């Protein structure tokens, strides 16, 4: 005698992430959707380590999509285009109740373009920074997507003016760094003396960023080691570049703790006196924990020259952008040099007032980002409302 037939899930959602930061967002969104809908939901798509750990069977390795920069992308373009075509054909053959595309516009929005006329509702997570460069993207996005999730409170009007519904859900750093960090415990677990000066190195989550920035960051650290006895380095990293990060750590010549567990990143930040970070989301994560930082970046010359002609904002760090003043030092392109990085970090290590001033400014910036509840839960609520509205209209 056969058992009762299994009821199929009431909703099928496909999520696509194309880089590590989107993978984190996707994993959190998956958890939030399950909290809200339970067994009534089936989740499929493309993701990395975090989404896989959350239960996603990725259709192909997300690492194939994790490229950034005009020059850096070119060698990977044929495979990228092939994956775009494969993904769009799969979705047309098997339309989900909702497609959630997460950042990575080079891949996600090209898939969305190929799905026009399919009737598949599309929710794009992470509003493009049209306020910083290429404002024409807002109108193009409105033609491709049905709803947009913004990470910054000032972003929705840039898109709603073109008829694209846009909801501010909150910055992911508010969730990533949620809870009380344990810096002292981190030092004890990793054998770092309580009195040792510690620098947290954050050269980015992409392989090409590591190749470009680690030699510069490493040279800056070696200069500082000559001035600060017992200097230690903490290097949080992610799976796709873990091997390269460990090799770079070994070459530093300074005692280094490589942190592979994403859950330990918050404690690693709290254990550090200062941080040297590539420009990006991590600037806000450091602000949440209260770790003073220097923000740095260097792109390849051709990429940098093109971006400089298009960029419209004064600052790279979101903390500085929110406050419209440089509270976190920024050393970009030709200023991203070992001697300049070492000088800026040395000042933070040596002057308690400089560290205190950054922490005070962090509080101002974070007040502008505050939301009720977890950003992932807010994002899940929008996704489920889109499905409910569509089903109600259908019948």
Q: Which pLDDT does position 240 carry in this prediction? A: 75
- Please check whether residues 166 and 294 belong to one and the same domain: no
Phi-psi category of 193—alpha, beta or left, where left has phi over 0 and alpha has psi -120 to 50?
Answer: beta
Residue 326 and residue 223 share a domain:
yes
Regarding whether 155 and 199 lie in a shared domain, the answer is: no
Range of the domain at 280: 178-369
Residue 4 belongs to a domain: no
Clarify whether residues 136 and 225 are in a common domain. no
My answer on whether 286 and 343 are in the same domain is yes
Average pLDDT over residues 200-208: 88
Q: In this predicted model, what pLDDT tens digit does every residue of 234-285 receive, in sequence order? A: 999 987 788 888 999 989 999 999 999 988 999 999 999 999 999 888 999 9
The CATH number of the domain where 284 resides is what?
3.40.50.2000
Q: Is 1's pLDDT higher than 50?
A: no
CB atoms within 10 A of CB 366: 18
Cα dihedral 133, 136, 137, 139 sign: positive
Number of Cβ within 10 Å of residue 179's Cβ equals 10
Residue 353 burial class via C-beta count within 10 angstroms: exposed 0-12, middle 13-18, buried 19 and up = exposed
| 229 plus 336 within the same structural domain | yes
Bridge partners of residue 13, in order along the sequence: 43, 98
Average the pLDDT over 187-204 and give the result.
96
Q: Rounded mean pLDDT of the chain?
A: 91
Q: Are residues 245 and 109 in the same domain?
A: no
| pTM, rounded to two decimals | 0.85
In whole angstroms, give the CA distance from residue 384 to residue 11: 9
Question: What tokens appear for 348 in the block?
Answer: 């933070």
Give the pLDDT confidence score for residue 197 in this predicted structure.
97
Position 300 scores a pLDDT of 66
pLDDT at residue 74 in the model? 56
Q: Is residue 5 part of a domain?
A: no
- Is residue 139 within 8 A of residue 161, CB to CB? The reply is no
Both 239 and 386 in a single domain? no
């Amino acid at each position: 005698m056969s058992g009762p037939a299994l009821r199929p899930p009431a909703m099928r959602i496909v999520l696509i992430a194309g880089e590590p930061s989107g993978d984190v967002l996707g994993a959190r969104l998956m958890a939030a959707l399950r909290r809200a809908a339970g067994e009534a939901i089936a989740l499929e798509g493309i993701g990395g380590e975090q989404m896989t750990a959350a239960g996603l069977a990725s259709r192909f390795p997300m690492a194939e999509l994790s490229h950034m920069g005009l020059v850096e992308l070119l060698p990977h373009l044929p495979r990228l285009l092939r994956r775009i075509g494969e993904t769009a054909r799969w979705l047309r053959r098997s339309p989900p109740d909702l497609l959630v595309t997460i950042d990575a516009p080079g891949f996600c929005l090209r898939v969305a373009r190929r799905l026009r006329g399919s009737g598949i509702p599309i929710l794009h997570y992470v509003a493009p920074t049209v306020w910083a460069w290429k404002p024409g993207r807002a109108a193009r996005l409105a033609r491709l997507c049905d709803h947009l999730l913004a990470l910054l409170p000032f972003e929705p009007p840039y898109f709603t003016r073109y008829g694209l519904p846009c909801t501010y859900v909150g910055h992911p750093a508010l969730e990533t760094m949620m809870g009380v960090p344990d810096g002292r415990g981190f030092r004890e677990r990793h054998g770092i003396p309580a009195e040792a000066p510690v620098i947290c190195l954050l050269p980015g989550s992409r392989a090409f960023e590591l190749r470009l920035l680690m030699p510069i960051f490493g040279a800056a650290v070696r200069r500082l080691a000559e001035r600060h006895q017992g200097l230690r380095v903490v290097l949080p990293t992610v799976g796709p570049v873990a091997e390269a990060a460990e090799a770079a750590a070994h070459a530093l010549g300074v005692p280094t703790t490589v942190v592979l567990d994403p859950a330990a990143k918050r404690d690693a930040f709290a254990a550090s006196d200062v941080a040297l970070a590539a420009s990006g989301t991590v600037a806000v994560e450091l602000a949440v924990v209260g770790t003073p930082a220097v923000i740095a970046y260097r792109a390849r010359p051709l990429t940098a020259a093109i971006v400089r002609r298009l960029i419209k904002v004064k600052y790279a760090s979101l903390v500085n952008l929110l406050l419209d003043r440089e509270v976190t030092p920024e050393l970009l392109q030709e200023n991203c040099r070992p001697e300049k990085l070492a000088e800026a970090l040395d000042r933070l290590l040596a002057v308690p007032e400089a560290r205190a001033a950054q922490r005070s400014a962090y509080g101002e910036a974070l007040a502008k980002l505050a939301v009720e509840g977890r950003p992932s839960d807010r994002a899940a609520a929008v996704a489920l409302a889109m499905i409910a509205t569509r089903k109600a209209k259908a019948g």
